[in-house]
Structure 1
Amino acid sequence: MTDCIFCKIINGEIPSYKIYEDDVVYAFLDISQATPGHTLVVPKKHVKDIFEYDEDLAAAVFARIPKIARAVKASNSEIIGMNILNNNGKAAYQSVFHSHIHLLPRYADDKFSMTFINNEEEYDEAKYKAVQDAIRSQFKD
């Protein structure tokens, strides 16, 4: 895709701080550096988001995440954890529409935050079951 900033980075048209590359993925430092070492892992094949992956691409891309994550973690003894994030769609905060996985190293006082809201009180057995049934009915095995 010619207008895609990540495709341009992969093709060397835009400079990046490359961390890792092979025939399937290209990993580079996120320019924002939400925390030091914040890395993006992108498939070389242009897919907009997780919904466009086939099983083979998913297996190939996600198989590389632990190797890259271990290298990021090993690069700095102050890293005490890591968030692995994948945003899909504008509502989920995806801002570049070429699928990418964020590796966000965590430090003792890094000020990065995420909020997970607990809506458990709004659910009863019937509501959980309705959501479960709606999702499970989508599997066509």
Structure 2
Amino acid sequence: MDNCLFCRIACGQIPARKVYEDTEILAFHDINPARPVHLLVIPKRHITSLATVVEETDVPVLGRMLALASRLASENGSPDGFRVIINTGRIGHQEVQHLHAHIVGGPDPVGPMLKRV
């Protein structure tokens, strides 16, 4: 998609601090990190969100994205644990309309998962 930020990063039109890349997946540092370790993992092929995943052909890339999380967290400074977050749609506060997983961690605990209401 021409105007998708993450598609433009995936094809090299916009630079990123890459930590992993293969033919289907790209992982890079978040430009506005919320934690000492804050990486984004994206499929190179445009998938809008988890809410739009309906094809069995999407399952392998989603599984590989999650399978990479531990290795990427450990290699980038969070060997004792991490959190994976996939924001989806308006309610989930998805800011970029391209499926992406946040891997967050660092030397200290991440904190509570959700604010209680």
Structure 2 length normalisation: TM-score? 0.84
| Counterpart for residue 72 of structure 2 | 71
Pair 1:30–1:70, CA change in 2 (3 A): same
Shifted more, 57-66 versus 47-56: the winner is 57-66
| Counterpart for residue 44 of structure 2 | 44
Q: Distance in 2 between matches of 1:86 and 1:115?
A: 14
Shifted more, 56-65 versus 36-45: the winner is 56-65
Rg (Cα) greater in structure: 1
**Secondary structure at the counterpart of residue 20 of structure 1:** strand
Q: Distance in 2 between matches of 1:84 and 1:92?
A: 14
Contact 2:19 2:72 in 1 (8 A): no
Output the aligned Cα RMSD: 2.2
- Residue ranges of structure 2 left out of the alignment (5+ in a row): none
Q: Which runs of 4+ in 1 moved over 4 A?
A: none
- Residue ranges of structure 1 left out of the alignment (5+ in a row): 119-141
Q: Distance in 2 between matches of 1:87 and 1:58?
A: 18
| Counterpart for residue 59 of structure 1 | 60
Q: Give the structure with the larger helix fraction.
A: 1
Contact 2:73 2:82 in 1 (8 A): no
Structure 1 length normalisation: TM-score? 0.71
Q: Distance in 1 between matches of 2:48 and 2:116?
A: 27
Shift of 1:47: 1.1
Write the mapping of 1:1-141 to structure 2, written as runs, cut at 5 A.
1-53=1-53, 54-76=55-77, 79-108=79-108, 113-117=112-116
Shift of 1:107: 2.9
Pair 1:99–1:75, CA change in 2 (3 A): closer
Shift of 1:63: 2.2
Q: Distance in 1 between matches of 2:81 and 2:106?
A: 5
Higher relative contact order (CA 8 A, sep 6+): 2
